[in-house]
Amino acid sequence: MTPDRRAMRQPFLDAWQKFQQHLPLTPIELAVSDIIREHPEYHALFADPERALSQDWPPEHGETNPFLHLGLHLSIREMAQIDQPHGFKAAYLQRCERHGDRLAAEHAMMDCLAESLWQAQRRGAEPDGAALLDCLNNF
């Protein structure tokens, strides 16, 4: 495991541990712990930090990386909060209304966001906000 991967996963574990211990949380830790709380299927993983830090979830095995999944939730919520790209908040609220709950709406939006990030990485450029909104509006 690379130090970068460990460094990216550790804040999720720290936020969950602080939440479990009823310690004060920063705003980002509160957001992260809320998302983890909403995903009980990951609670056993977060109870075993060393496994969480070292385990791989290769997509070719049909496994979802919990940290990627939780990070996409966090990104979607932040993007909706700041309406970036412009129009994202409206798309988010429409999805929430259509699905009846924000978690289901976020799950429905993840493929578009992941595709947008993947395309940006392939191009070596910033994510295309217009393409993301098109995906969300046509999905």
Read off the pLDDT of residues 6-26 as tens digits, 9 standing for 90 and up: 999 999 999 999 999 999 999
The CA distance from 42 to 3, in Å, is 22
Same domain, 65 and 131: yes
pLDDT at residue 92 tops 90: yes
**Mean pLDDT value of segment 109-121:** 95
Check the CA dihedral 105-106-107-112 and report its sign: positive
Same domain, 69 and 46: no
Same domain, 40 and 75: no
Domain of residue 51 covers 1-55
Q: Are 70 and 53 in contact (CB under 8 A)?
A: no
**Mean pLDDT value of segment 88-92:** 97
Same domain, 43 and 16: yes
pLDDT bin (cut points 50, 70, 90) of residue 139 is confident
Counting the structural domains of the chain, the total is 2
Same domain, 6 and 25: yes
Q: In terms of C-beta distances under 8 Å and separation of at least 24 residues, what long-range contacts does 49-57 make, across chains too? A: 49/13, 49/17, 52/9, 52/12, 52/13, 53/1, 53/6, 53/9, 53/10, 53/13, 54/1
Q: What is the pLDDT of residue 32?
A: 98
Nearest C-alpha neighbor of 54 from the set 16, 10, 114: 10
Same domain, 31 and 90: no
pLDDT at residue 39 tops 50: yes
pLDDT at residue 1 tops 70: no
Same domain, 71 and 137: yes
The CA distance from 35 to 107, in Å, is 12
Q: What is the pLDDT of residue 3?
A: 62
Same domain, 46 and 98: no
Nearest C-alpha neighbor of 31 from the set 49, 8, 13, 15: 15
The CA distance from 122 to 12, in Å, is 27
The CA distance from 73 to 52, in Å, is 18
**Mean pLDDT value of segment 105-109:** 96
What residue has token string 């949380």? 25
Same domain, 89 and 136: yes
pLDDT at residue 54 tops 60: yes
pLDDT at residue 70 tops 90: yes
| Selected residue with higher pLDDT from 41 and 138 | 41
Q: What is the residue-averaged pLDDT of the chain?
A: 94
pTM for the model stands at 0.92
- Listed residues 14, 33, 55: the one ending a domain: 55
Q: What is the pLDDT of residue 2?
A: 58
